[in-house]
Amino acid sequence: MRAVVVREHGGSEVLRADDWPDPSPGPGELVVSLAAAGVNFVDIYRREGRPPYAGAVPFVPGAEGAGTVTATGQGVTSFQPGDRVVWSDAPGSYAEQVIVPERSAVHVPAGVSLEVAAAVMLQGLTAHYLCHSTYPVAAGDVAVVHAAAGGVGLLLTQMTGLRGGVVVATASTQAKAALAREAGAQHVAGYGDFGAVVREVTGGAGAAVVYDGVGQATFDDSLAALRPRGMMVLYGAASGQVPPLDPQRLNAGGSLFLTRPTLAHYIADAAELRWRAAEVFDQVASGELDVRIGGSYPLADAARAQQDLAARRTTGKLLLIP
């Protein structure tokens, strides 16, 4: 089969389309014919070999996708050939055929295309756990959503709104600001003035929560934008890693909470994965949640997709199509 293969860690040029052995399913595994793979920031970190994401080379990157089951291994009970499935954590997803553990696979509901399923899985589950579990947004809460026109950002803005939250979004361009507004953000600010907007909107009190996937560039102002006992949810580092922090800053900021969550811990077992995925797909199927596919690239153009994502040229979700 054809796959994208990384033979040494490095820049996007190490992503090359190549031949790779056809997979066969081990016990508890499915082989899936890929319809679309999702592109995520973590794919870039793995390509670069950045700790703690680095693995051995050579490898096929990607972890997210959707497609049709072609074979099942011993002991598989929930899936059969022909089923449409989606996943967020099957290594080797930038390939025509993907091995997906049964535990990681979710049935794609009727009425949802495989492309939309691949586009919403990882970032939709992430947006879901952030606003339902890490900090469960209550009606009237003011929530800052950084990079609101991005993949996670557009979904998180919508889901926060569905819970009755008031979103103060950030975005770097007017076009991205317009997308954030369409997703339901009541206020859209720049990275330099979101703190002032939060103060104005809350009468000086501060935000209940900041969802920050940008990291280094926004962290200090995000902490400063919180109300006493507010929660700083640092879930990514698109602008770089946040340096080590003195816990006394949380005291000085008003007994703040800081968490650095990751999806794997919020789909901790099959039941939690299925519950979260069902809620996300219900919202997609009912039309409550709009999934924006900002770019589709041929599988062989994975390098260009990752370059565009890293260079802030994208909105919504990026897909690779075999």
Ligand X SMILES: NC(=O)c1ccc[n+]([C@@H]2O[C@H](COP(=O)([O-])OP(=O)(O)OC[C@H]3O[C@@H](n4cnc5c(N)ncnc54)[C@H](OP(=O)(O)O)[C@@H]3O)[C@@H](O)[C@H]2O)c1
Site for ligand X in 250-309 (CB under 6 A): 261-263, 309
Which residues are paired to 231 by β-bridges?
209, 257
Of the candidate spans 61-69, 76-84, 193-201, 230-238, the one that interacts with ligand X by CB under 6 A turns out to be 230-238
Q: Which is nearer to ligand X, 151 or 206 (CB)?
A: 151
Beta strands in 199-286 (DSSP E): 207-212, 226-234, 257-259
End-to-end, the C-alpha distance of the chain in Å comes to: 11
Query: Which one among 23, 40, 66, 179 touches ligand X, defined by CB under 6 A?
Result: 40
Cα(81)–Cα(83) distance, rounded to whole angstroms?
Answer: 6
Q: By rule CB under 6 A, what count of residues binds ligand X?
A: 30
Measured from the CB atom, the residue of 39 and 76 that comes closer to ligand X is 39
CB atoms within 10 A of CB 201: 17
Span interacting with ligand X, options 35-43, 47-55, 63-71, 223-231, rule CB under 6 A: 35-43
Cα distance between residue 178 and residue 175, in whole Å: 5
Joined together, the tokens standing for residue 284 give: 């997609």
Nearer to ligand X, 92 or 213 (CB): 213
Q: Which is nearer to ligand X, 79 or 219 (CB)?
A: 219
Residues 196-225 that bind ligand X (CB under 6 A): 213-214, 217
Instruction: From 222, 241, 245, 212, select the one nearest 145 (Cα to Cα).
Output: 212
Indicate the length of the chain as a whole number. Answer: 322
Count of H helices and E strands in the chain? 9, 15
We find the least distance from the C-beta atom of residue 162 to ligand X, in angstroms, to be: 18
Q: Please, what is the angle between helix 174-182 and helix 151-162, to 10°?
A: 30
Give the residue with the Cβ less far from ligand X, 153 or 322. 153
Q: How far is the CB of 290 from ligand X (least distance, A)?
A: 15
* Residue 160 in the binding site for ligand X (CB under 6 A): no
Residue 238 in contact with ligand X, rule: CB under 6 A: yes
Give the largest Cα separation in the chain, rounded. 61
What's phi and psi for 232, nearest 5 deg?
A: -95, 115
C-beta of 1 vs 245, nearer to ligand X: 245
Question: What SS3 state is found at 131?
Answer: helix
Q: Which of 151, 184, 230, 322 binds ligand X (CB under 6 A)?
A: 151
User: Which residue's CB is nearer to ligand X, number 238 or number 273?
Assistant: 238
Interacting residues with ligand X between 87 and 146 (CB under 6 A): 122-123, 126
For residues 233 and 215, what is the distance between their CA atoms, to the nearest angstrom?
Answer: 10
Q: Tell me how crowded residue 82 is: count the other CB atoms within 10 A of its CB.
A: 8
Closest residue to ligand X using C-beta atoms:
150
- CB 3, min distance to ligand X, A: 21
Span from 78-86, 97-105, 171-179, 277-285 in contact with ligand X (CB under 6 A)? 171-179
- Cα–Cα distance for residue pair 293/37, rounded to 1 Å: 12
- Considering the rule CB under 6 A, would residue 163 count as an interface residue with ligand X? no
Residue of the chain from 3, 14, 42, 226 that contacts ligand X (CB under 6 A): 42
Q: Reply yes or no: is the peptide bond before residue 52 cis, omega within 30 of 0.
A: yes
- Binding residues for ligand X, rule: CB under 6 A, are 40-42, 122-123, 126, 147, 149-153, 171-172, 176, 213-214, 217, 235-239, 261-263, 309-310, 312, 314
